[in-house]
Amino acid sequence: MTTKTATISQLGPSKSDVKRLVNVMTAIAWGVLAIGVVLCLVNLSHFSDKNIGLMVGIGFLIGSVHIYVIGTAIGLVHARMNGNAANKDSNLDS
C-alpha cells in the first residue's frame, strides 16, 4: 500500500481571494449605507432619540463605515505582507 504526499506551496490566502473579500465587503458596506440612508429619511419627521427607526438608521450609517474600514484594512495588511515577503526574497537572492 502506497501513500500519496502533497505539498503546500502557499500557506496564506491568494491575492485574488483577498481582493474578492475586499470587493464583497465594500459592496456590503454600500448596501448597509443605502439601508441606513433610507431608514433615516423615512423616520426623519420625528427627530428624537425615542424614534427607533431613526436610531437604527444612524446605526446602519455608522456600521457601514466600520465595514468599509475593516475591508480596506484587510486589503492593506495583505498587500503589505506580500510586499515584505517579496523584499525578503529579493534580499536573500542578492
pLDDT in tens, 65-87: 999 999 999 999 998 888 777 67
Q: Is the pTM of this model over 0.95?
A: no
End-to-end CA distance of the chain: 45
Mean pLDDT computed over 3-32: 81
Spell out the residues 6+ positions from residue 88 whose beta carbon is closer than 8 angstroms to its own. Answer: none
